[in-house]
Copies of this chain bind each other. A is one copy, B any other.
Amino acid sequence: MADRPLRADARRNRERVLEAARELFAASGLAVPLDDIAARAGVGPGTVYRHFPTKEALFEAVTVARLRDLVEFARGCAADDDPAAAFDRFLDRLTEEAAAKRNLPEAFTAVGMEGLVPVQEELYAALAVLVGRAQEVGAVRPEIRVPDLLVLLKAMLQAAGESPDPTVLDRIALVLRDGLRPPTDPGSIL
C-alpha cells in the first residue's frame, strides 16, 4: 500500500517493457506473444509479470495512454469555433494515426477489459459533442450516431492496417468523409 519508490533498475525496465509493448502491439495487435515483448525489451518474461499482472493489463496500459491522447484531442476539437472544421481535423488526426497502429482499432470496441471502459466512455462523450455540433451546422448527416462513427472509424483503421498500399487509406478516408456529409442539400455550402 505504502508505494515505496521503485528501484532505479525496476523503473528503467518498466519503461523498456512499455516501449517494446507499444511498438509490437502497434505492429501486430494483441496477437504478439508476450515473450517477444520481453525479448524486445531485453528482459525475461518474469520481469514483465512483475510489473503487469497479465498480458491484457499490459495492453491496457499501453492503449489507455493512446486513447487518452485521442480523447484530449477530440475535446480540443470540440472547443473549436468552426464545428465543421473541427470534425474534419479529428478525422485527419485519425487517418494519420492509422498508418500502422493496429492496437487502436482493437481498443475502440474491445470488451472485457475493465480498465479500458472509462476511456472508451470519455471518447464516446467527446465524439458526441463533436458530431453533434457538426450536425447542427449541417456538416454531418443527421442520422449518424456515435456508435456508427466508431464502427466506421474502426473499419478504416483496420483496413488501412491490412493493406500494404498506403494510398488505399487516402481513398478510403475520402469515401468516408464524403459519405458522412449530408447528401447535397441545396444551399448547404455555407
Contact = CB atoms under 8 A, between A and B. Distances in A.
A145 interface: yes
Interface in A117-157: 141, 143-145, 147-148, 151-152, 154-156
A174 interface: yes
A110 to B, nearest CB: 10
Nearest to A171: B148
Interface size class of A (residues with CB under 8 A): 20 to 34
Contact of A159 (B158, B178, B181): B158
A151 B152 CA distance: 12
Chain A interface mostly? helix
Contacts of A158: 155, 158-159
A165 B159 CA distance: 21
Given A155-B155, A158-B159, A159-B152, A147 B165 contact: yes
Contacts of A172: 148, 151-152, 155
A91 interface: no
Given A109-B162, A155-B156, A179 B174 contact: yes
Interface of A: 109, 141, 143-145, 147-148, 151-152, 154-156, 158-160, 162-163, 165, 168, 171-172, 174-181, 183-184
Given A144-B171, A148-B175, A152-B172, 9 more contacts: A143-B174, A151-B159, A151-B162, A151-B168, A154-B155, A155-B172, A158-B158, A175-B179, A178-B181
